[in-house]
Amino acid sequence: MRTWFTALTLLVTAATAAPTGAQTLINGAGATFPYPIYSKWFDAYTKVDPEARFNYQSIGSGGGIKQISSRTVDFGASDGPMTDEQLKGAPGELFHIPTVLGADAATYNLPGSPKLKFTPDVLADIFLGKISKWNDPRLAAENPGVSLPSTPIVVVHRSDGSGTTYIWVDYLSKVSPEWQQKVGRGTSVNWPVGLGGKGNEGVAGQVKSTPGALGYVELAYAVQNKLPVGLVKNAAGKFVEPTIESTTAAAAGAARTMPADFRVSLTNPPGDDAYPIASFTWLLVYKEQPNEIKGRAIVKFLWWMSHEGQKMAPDLHYAPLPAPVVKQIEGRIKEINYRGKPLMVAR
Amino acid sequence: MRSNLGDRIFRGVLRLAGSAVLLLVLALAAEMFRTAWPAIHTFGARFLVTSVWDPVAEHHGALSFVYGTLVSSLLAMLIAVPLGIGAAVFLAELAPPWLRPPVAFLVELVAAVPSVVYGLWGIFVLAPLMRTWVQPFLGATLGFLPLFQGPPYGVGMLTAGIILAIMVVPFITAVSREVLLAVPNSQREAALALGATRWETTRLAVLRYGRSGLIGAGLLGLGRALGETMAVTMVIGNRPEVAISLFAPGYTMASVIANEFTEATSDLYLSALIEVGLLLFLVTVAVNALARLLVWSVGGAVKVVRE
């Protein structure tokens, strides 16, 4: 009996002690939207740096901001930039490091799944409930040759708070003063019309099973499930289809006016090829790292992620960062330090 | 009776277990009240009587959620109680003996299906069915009632009620069947000896005898219906509005918490969600207390019958 017990104790001690000796465990939490690419990165990264192990909990952007602000994790992740108030509430200076881009696509259920074109004001008025029929003259004017039915438009939106919703309403707020004033932007809003579906799958399921439905889903989800998606007129006046390339182009268009902290909304950016309903998703890290070993591992990962890691993005239907933005991120990574000593090793 | 050390320890352990349950509930209520305080303080009674839910402007009112939870659960009980008890009577009284074990086993199996599976089935099978057949039919035949008016979306209060009913029927059936099996055979024999038909025997001797147990079965189902989250969220339409029509989309307390908790970043917003949780807790306690009263009053009636 006693020998068994001793053996068990030894085993437990060995199991818990072994990883801490060789590996640094870095904990992160936050956004669900980039979770597939993050888990792919963290998995692939074990080969690049066997000494660092990343653990990521996709609990949502709100949770990510909360946890990094109370320093219960080593890095956070968010689909929406932190507000000035939230940044002030954090115990140290937080950096927003863009990782990839995502976009929202308008998907619909119409006979024959025609390629529809939407202007910003038409989209806003549909979601405000001011355009309620598919054969509305303003919708028909942009879509000559498409026979639009006289059925009502059934608007479908996300019911759960999400970064996808944030991007969508951020866009509508920019293109429609009425939306900005009546509804505003947030991860959940008070929708003037429509039904709520839980998650991308809930919205897509609702749209698929309801004739005349119109909803928005993540581009990655729309591509994987081959949903019909609409073209949207961008700030340059061109109708652009949501694709990985046109999403990257949105960030490139905004690169010239990019603020140093990357807390920028990319919706409705300049640029002929830019798809207007796109956004960064960010990792949140402290400028002054509290732990040298962990800090070094995080900085090393950030560099790898913004360079080699970007090549993995398109396979998972995320848009990689454009080169000028990567250049700007490099500068930011070099500023991350431990007690004033930069953690980035020269390369 | 001599009380030895073992007995005393045993009594102490049991007391601890008993009071732990109580303390847990109290701690839960206190903590929810504490974290919900900013919202209670800001919105006051408005929280209970308005149904505007605007996280951007931070206007929060939970009326539509309370309404949605109560109405969807009520609908579910209206459908599930007769169906569940009917199935139990069939299994306990009428079904040929070879059929009873497999059907009883199936009922218990269905009770174990996770709610998200019901939700997915609800989106992809039930909602289209409701939209193309059930709702147009109800609209055409009962459309003069305000309950069955409006465009058929497929999703909405009625669909949520039906999904809930399907989910609680196995619970009600399984428990009711046990209750009916526990009715002594002498009751049935006595009724039959008096010349009662099968229907009269079941109604007077079996169902009446097991009445408080059957209400307990219904309560178990109601408890599940009130707190059910995933399946309801997927088919109710998630629209914070109080609408008379059962075709209209609605929202429940459990759904809004599940939907918005992860991304609620501002403190007041989070606090409002926790207040919804507190309300759900109070509604559940109130409904259970009411039902308990019902069981007591019925329990008295049963005694009269037995005499």
pLDDT tens per residue across span A323-332 = 999 999 999 9
The 8-class DSSP code of residue B150 comes to: S
Q: How large is the average pLDDT for residues A161-176?
A: 93
pLDDT at B256: 95
The 8-class DSSP code of residue B131 comes to: I
Q: Scanning the structure block, which residue is given the tokens 């509508």?
A: A172
Q: How large is the average pLDDT for residues A306-312?
A: 95
Q: Is B131 on the interface with A (CB under 8 A)?
A: yes
Residue A86 has pLDDT above 80, yes or no: yes
Q: How far apart are CA A277 and CA A268, in angstroms?
A: 6
Q: Is A206 on the interface with B (CB under 8 A)?
A: yes
Q: Is B234 on the interface with A (CB under 8 A)?
A: yes
Residues A211, B152: contact at Cβ < 8 Å?
Answer: no
ipTM reported for the complex surpasses 0.90: no
Q: Which percentage of chain A shows pLDDT scores above 70?
A: 93
Residue B305 has pLDDT above 90, yes or no: no
Q: Is A129 on the interface with B (CB under 8 A)?
A: no
Q: How far apart are CA B88 and CA B176, in angstroms?
A: 6
Contacts of B190 by beta carbon, 8 Å cutoff, 6+ apart? B205
SS3 content of chain B, % helix, strand, coil (to 5): 75, 0, 25
pLDDT at B4: 87
Residue A13 has pLDDT above 70, yes or no: no
Q: How far is A51 from chain B (nearest CA, A)?
A: 32
Contacts of A276 by beta carbon, 8 Å cutoff, 6+ apart? A120, A171, A232, A233, A234, A235, A240, A250, A267, A268, A269
A239 vs A2, residue with greater confidence: A239
Q: How far apart are CA A83 and CA B137, in angstroms?
A: 51
A305 vs B266, residue with greater confidence: A305
Residue B140 has pLDDT above 80, yes or no: yes
pLDDT tens per residue across span B50-93 = 999 999 999 999 999 999 999 999 999 999 999 999 999 999 99
Residue A20 has pLDDT above 50, yes or no: no
Q: How far apart are CA B80 and CA B82, in angstroms?
A: 6
Q: How large is the average pLDDT for residues A207-214?
A: 92
Q: How far apart are CA B167 and CA B231, in angstroms?
A: 9
Look at residue A281 and give its three-state secondary structure: strand
Q: How far apart are CA A184 and CA A178, in angstroms?
A: 9
pLDDT at B294: 80
Residues A6, A275: contact at Cβ < 8 Å?
Answer: no
List of chain A residues whose C-beta atoms are within 8 Å of the C-beta of residue B262: 32, 59-63, 160-161
Domain range for B242 is 2-306
Least confident of A102-106, A151-155, B288-292: B288-292
Residue A19 has pLDDT above 80, yes or no: no
Q: How large is the average pLDDT for residues A225-245?
A: 95
Residue window 248-267, chain B: list those with CB within 8 Å of chain A. Answer: 249, 251, 255, 258-265
List of chain B residues whose C-beta atoms are within 8 Å of the C-beta of residue A196: 237-239, 249, 251, 259
Taking CB atoms and an 8 Å limit, are B233 and A159 in contact across chains?
A: yes
Least confident of A180-184, A239-243, B1-5: B1-5
Instruction: Convert B239-256 to b/e letters by CB count within 10 Å (16 or more is b).
Output: bbbbbebbbbbbbbbbbb
pLDDT at B299: 63
Band the pLDDT of A346: cuts 50, 70, 90.
low
Instruction: Give the one of A162, A187, A195 whose C-beta lies nearest to B238's C-beta.
Output: A195
Q: How large is the average pLDDT for residues B270-283?
A: 95
pLDDT at A16: 47
Residues A102, A320: contact at Cβ < 8 Å?
Answer: no
Taking CB atoms and an 8 Å limit, are A60 and B262 in contact across chains?
A: yes
- Mean pLDDT computed over every residue of chain B: 91
Which residue on chain A is closest to B61 by alpha carbon? A190
List of chain A residues whose C-beta atoms are within 8 Å of the C-beta of residue B127: 206, 209
What is the count of structural domains for chain B?
A: 1
To test the contact with chain A by mutation, choose from B121, B232, B253, B265 the residue with the greatest count of A C-beta atoms within 10 A, namely B265
Q: How far apart are CA A96 and CA A281, in angstroms?
A: 9
To test the contact with chain B by mutation, choose from A183, A195, A208 the residue with the greatest count of B C-beta atoms within 10 A, namely A195
Q: Is A183 on the interface with B (CB under 8 A)?
A: yes
Q: For residue B293, what is the domain's CATH number? A: 1.10.3720.10
Q: How large is the average pLDDT for residues A227-244?
A: 96
Q: How far apart are CA B278 and CA B275, in angstroms?
A: 5
Least confident of A94-98, A312-316, B173-177, B296-300: B296-300
**What pTM value is reported for the model?**
0.86
Instruction: Quickly list H helices, A241-291.
Output: 244-255
Residue A207 has pLDDT above 50, yes or no: yes
Residue A17 has pLDDT above 80, yes or no: no
pLDDT at B306: 43
Q: How large is the average pLDDT for residues A52-76?
A: 91
pLDDT at B22: 94
List of chain A residues whose C-beta atoms are within 8 Å of the C-beta of residue B250: none
Q: What's CA A17's distance to the chain center, in Å?
A: 36
Which residue on chain B is closest to A153 by alpha carbon? B153
The 8-class DSSP code of residue A319 comes to: B
Band the pLDDT of A267: cuts 50, 70, 90.
very high
Instruction: Give the one of B54, B151, B154 whose C-beta lies nearest to A190's C-beta.
Output: B54
Residues B131, B152: contact at Cβ < 8 Å?
Answer: yes
Taking CB atoms and an 8 Å limit, are B56 and A210 in contact across chains?
A: no
Taking CB atoms and an 8 Å limit, are B264 and A161 in contact across chains?
A: yes
pLDDT at A347: 56
